[in-house]
Structure 1
Amino acid sequence: MPLVTLYHNRKFTSDDQIKTFVSELSKVCAKTIGKDESLFNVNVIYNPYIIFGGKTDEPAFMLNILSIGTNSVPNADTPKWTADISKFLEEKLGIGSDRGYISFRDPGADYIGFGGDTITNNRLKASK
């Protein structure tokens, strides 16, 4: 159930380019984090006004990844995740790793809803 939200200030030239980028981001995040891509919800938001470090005329991003079980992952994994995703953003958007933050958070299964119930309750129902 990873929820991936990327805010950036790099304009795409076509809808096809946007769709391709979102699809590639989904695949990169799934491979990097090690969860099935079918579980991912990826949202990419263009915001021409996003700034980083007070500089309004430079590329910038903010990436939030919510994923149940992230807190149980050894901290040794998050630097690799950050490096892999940063490399992708630099290659595809031309935004350097020093122009934004990546946040990994685990809200817990009680705080994510799906199918009209929480993930916790969905798991309980499935185990019966």
Structure 2
Amino acid sequence: MLDPNFFILYVDSPAASAAFYADLLGHTPIQASPTFALLALQSGVKLGLRSRRAVEPAATVTGGGTELAFAVDSDATVTSMHAEWARRGLPILQAPVRMNFGYTFVAADPDGHRLRVVAPSAP
């Protein structure tokens, strides 16, 4: 069975995006070049940041076409992360709101990739 464990975002500047994610997530890149950076997250998932000008075949969709989702343990954590990310200057695309799947908000990274934080509803 296949189990994806590596995600790549196409970015304007891998170095700038690596610095952004290193600061936001608290993980330093384990690999960096002018066209690519890689962060290994505590969950085992790897986050790759590829220059949108260097990817082959050329990408037709860039920031905003998908979401990175971060499941957290409580509504209070959603609220506090929203306040912290707003304080850091991340664009907030959706203020905290209760939706059918949980309490959530959406921010954006410098390339427009959507970052969703959610406290999932009980099943």
What TM-score, normalized to structure 2? 0.36
**Bigger relative CO (Cα 8 Å, ≥ 6 apart):** 1
Larger Rg: 1
Bigger proportion of residues as helix: 1
Bigger proportion of residues as strand: 2
